[in-house]
Amino acid sequence: MKLKKQEIKPFDYDEVDIHVNYRKSRVLSETTPRLWLSAISKFAAVESTELIVDLGSGTGRFLEPLRSWFDASVIGIEPSANMSSEAVKEDLIDDVQIVRGRAENIPLVENSIDLVFISMAIHHFRDRPQAYREIRRILNAGKFLAIRTPTHETLNNLEWFKCFPSGLQVDIDRMLPKDDLIKEVCNSGLEFVHHTTIKQLTANTYREFFNNLSLRAVSALKQIPDEEFESGLKQFQRYCEKIGWETPFYESFDLFIFGKREQ
Ligand X SMILES: C[S@@+](CC[C@H](N)C(=O)[O-])C[C@H]1O[C@@H](n2cnc3c(N)ncnc32)[C@H](O)[C@@H]1O
* Least Cβ distance, residue 257 to ligand X (angstroms): 17
Min CB(115)–ligand X separation in Å: 14
Residues that bind ligand X (CB under 6 A): 13, 26, 55-58, 61-62, 78-80, 83, 102-104, 119-121, 124-126
Cα 12 off chain centre by: 15
Terminal CA-to-CA distance of the chain, rounded, Å? Answer: 50
* Least separation in angstroms between CB 61 and ligand X: 5
Going through 3-161 in order, the beta strands assigned E by DSSP cover 51-55, 73-78, 96-100, 113-119, 139-149
Residue 42 burial by Cβ neighbours in a 10 Å radius (0-12, 13-18, 19+): exposed
Least distance from ligand X to the Cβ atom of residue 263, Å? 27
The residue among 82 and 240 lying less far from ligand X, judged by its C-beta, is 82
Residue with Cβ nearer ligand X (103 or 240)? 103
Q: Given the complex with ligand X, which of 79 and 259 has the nearer CB atom?
A: 79
Please name which of 34, 68, 172, 58 lies closest in space to residue 119, comparing C-alpha atoms: 58
Q: How far is the CB of 25 from ligand X (least distance, A)?
A: 11
Q: Identify which of residues 65 and 259 has a Cβ nearer to ligand X in the complex.
A: 65
Asked if 40 and 70 touch (Cβ cutoff 8 Å), the reply is: no
Closest CB to ligand X among residues 79, 167: 79
Nearest to 60 by CA among 95, 85, 34: 85
Position closest to ligand X via CB: 58
Quick one: DSSP state of residue 141?
E
